[in-house]
Amino acid sequence: MPIDASIPLSFRPTTEMMSPVQALTLKDLAQRVQAQQVETQKQQGISQLMKQPGSVDPKTGMVALPAIAQAAQIDPFYAFKLQDHNEKVRLNRLQISQEQQQYDLGVKTATLSSYKRHLSEGMSRPEAIKAANLDRQNLISEDDRTGRIRTAGFDDQDIKQAMGRYIDNPEGLEDDIRRQGGKVPGEMTPFQSK
């Protein structure tokens, strides 16, 4: 059988050489897959960390400092997010605390004003104290009904405590009101004339 010289020339390899563009695309894809795997590992690590007891204070919602330090080892950027979260929670709690103080000042002022009004109407001191406490409870109850007291940051336990408190020395409220920067009802300021 004679040898056909055209056979080697018609041979085509089954694997083709990659062009430089294809090689770069493949390398980019590999890098993206690797980056995604690293990100998944970080997320799993953070998730496990946050599930550990003591990582988050259940009462305040703030992340514990040791948990933030561990998060920084896993993902420094996420640790900054946790610190930012804590700062926002702290500022929110501070605002709620100020709102609670303002509400408390308003209730004290209203109670003292009620007491003085009842005295001026001719009630005895014990009767005026009893009436002022009733007015105080009605005010808190109405504010609970309308949601105002909850807007100030009080919860059910705080409201129950406030409703159960009995003011037996309304005159003592004057010092509290002054200390909190409020104006005592019926009291002249240094700039007012009689």
Convert the pLDDT of each residue in 124-137 to its tens digit: 989 999 999 999 99
Mean pLDDT of 139-153: 87
**CA 147/CA 67 separation, integer angstroms:** 36
For residue 123, give both structure tokens: 């009630």
**CA 68/CA 50 separation, integer angstroms:** 9
User: Which residue(s) pair with 77 in the sheet?
Assistant: none
Print burial letters for 31-61: b (CB count within 10 Å at least 16), e (below 16): eeeeeeeeeeeeeebbeebeeeeebbeeeee
User: Which residue(s) pair with 56 in the sheet?
Assistant: 63
Domain boundaries, the chain: 98-179
pLDDT at 2 over 80: no
Mean pLDDT of 181-190: 66
Q: Tell me, what's the pLDDT at 193?
A: 40
Specify whether the CB–CB gap between 173 and 185 falls below 8 A. Answer: no
**CA 59/CA 150 separation, integer angstroms:** 17
Mean pLDDT of 117-127: 91
Give the pTM: 0.53
Q: Which amino acid is present at 45?
A: G
Q: How confident is the model at residue 38 (pLDDT cuts 50, 70, 90)?
A: confident
